[in-house]
Amino acid sequence: MLPRLCRPALVMLVLVLAACESGATLPTAGPAGGVVALLLPERTAARYEGADRPFFEARLKELCSTCTVLYANAEQDAGKQQEQAEKALADGAQVLVLDPVDSLSASMIADQARAKGVPVISYDRLILNSSGVTYYISFDNFRVGELQARSLMDRFTELGIENPTILMINGSPSDNNAKDYKAGAMSVFKPAMEAGTLTIRAEFDTPNWEPAEAEKFVAGLLGPGDTIDGIYAANDGTAGGAINVLKQINMHPIPPVTGQDAELAALQRLLSGEQFMTVYKAIKPQAEAAAEIAFSLLSNQSISSATTGGKTINNGVAEVRAVLLTPIAVVRGNIRDTVIKDGFWKAEQICVAAVAAECAQLGIR
């Protein structure tokens, strides 16, 4: 029988260790007293505390009952994250799993870890300009932006809007992923703009992904009696901020607004018609893959190219081995077959009284 780490449950994550290929027996309990640091960037997006952390910790516990997770959340403060990383290294962390607040300044953390011989897994956001990054695990972020923009353009076609005008709310300038989301979106928007079939009225990079900043941006442009055909919002938090303004000025109907992360409030907005779409990124396999790679590094098990499918991503100074998962566009009609089917959210969590009728109509129960 294959050891735990080689079983088919991991096929979905394509995590095949070289030791498995050679038939070697892997430890299932892990090194006694192994220490992994999980350093997450913020609490604004509900996913980090509600999904990434518990999924990561549970999977590592399965693989290594004697291992310790040193957890810290930087709450959008890059300086605080630097201190947390230094403390984790001083406290004996043997692997860092780091989701950077600032993709550039986090290079200092990766360099310090490398100097101590500690491997770094760049989680969700890419750490730039450091040769100390051992692995990168995220989603195809260019594809995220492309999905958002294509969904919006297709919706305009469905509504019969031939020359739409939109607002574009991008993510945080300090987040390298935001650059990729924007590039993916512009791969769809730019040809339409050049053809004269789309106008971006105004564009905004949202500091620290703060919904309140997105709300202020939209409020500065739209007032009672104003109209807009749609809003590209890079995530659900900024979408929520924009939608608050549209509701305050009684814009009816609310134009299509994009999002990302499949947050609970966003799914409820999809059902009520206040938000058009979100992008679902299956966080459970992402977090579990990070835990499995961390365990392999902790156990000194070599990881084959099958782990990443041979993919790499350049972080400015090095080609980093990468696991890139596939995002999914979610609209009200496929909530049941995506986030509920996967157990990301339960029907009873989504179907509160305000959207109970919409849930019943869609057979969400």
**pTM of the full structure:** 0.81
| Confidence category of residue 303, pLDDT binned at 50, 70, 90 | confident
The pLDDT assigned to 6 comes to 35
Between 4-13, 113-122, 143-152, 284-293, the lowest mean confidence (pLDDT) is in 4-13
Would you say the CATH fold of 141-260 matches that of 4-139+282-325?
A: yes
CATH number, domain 141-260, options 3.40.50.2300, 3.30.559.10, 3.40.50.720, 1.20.1250.20:
3.40.50.2300
SS3 sequence of the chain: CCCHHHCHHHHHHCCCEHHHHCCCCCCCCCCCCCEEEEEECCCCCCHHHHHHHHHHHHHHHHHCCCCEEEEEECCCCHHHHHHHHHHHHHCCCCEEEECCCCCCCCHHHHHHHHHCCCCEEEECCCCCCCCCEEEEEEECHHHHHHHHHHHHHHHHHHHCCCCCEEEEEECCCCCHHHHHHHHHHHHHHHHHHHCCCCEEEEEEECHHHCHHHHHHHHHCCCCCCCCCCEEEECCHHHHHHHHHHHHHCCCCCCCCECCCCCCHHHHHHHHHCCCCCEEECCHHHHHHHHHHHHHHHHCCCCECHHHCCCCEEECCCCEEEEEEECCEEECHHHCHHHHHCCCCCCHHHHCCHHHHHHHHHHCCC
The pLDDT assigned to 306 comes to 53
Which pLDDT tens digit goes with each residue over 332-357? 999 999 999 988 899 999 999 999 99
For domain 4-139+282-325, give the CATH superfamily: Response regulator (3.40.50.2300)
Task: Kindly list the domain boundaries of the chain, sorted by start residue.
Answer: 4-139+282-325, 141-260
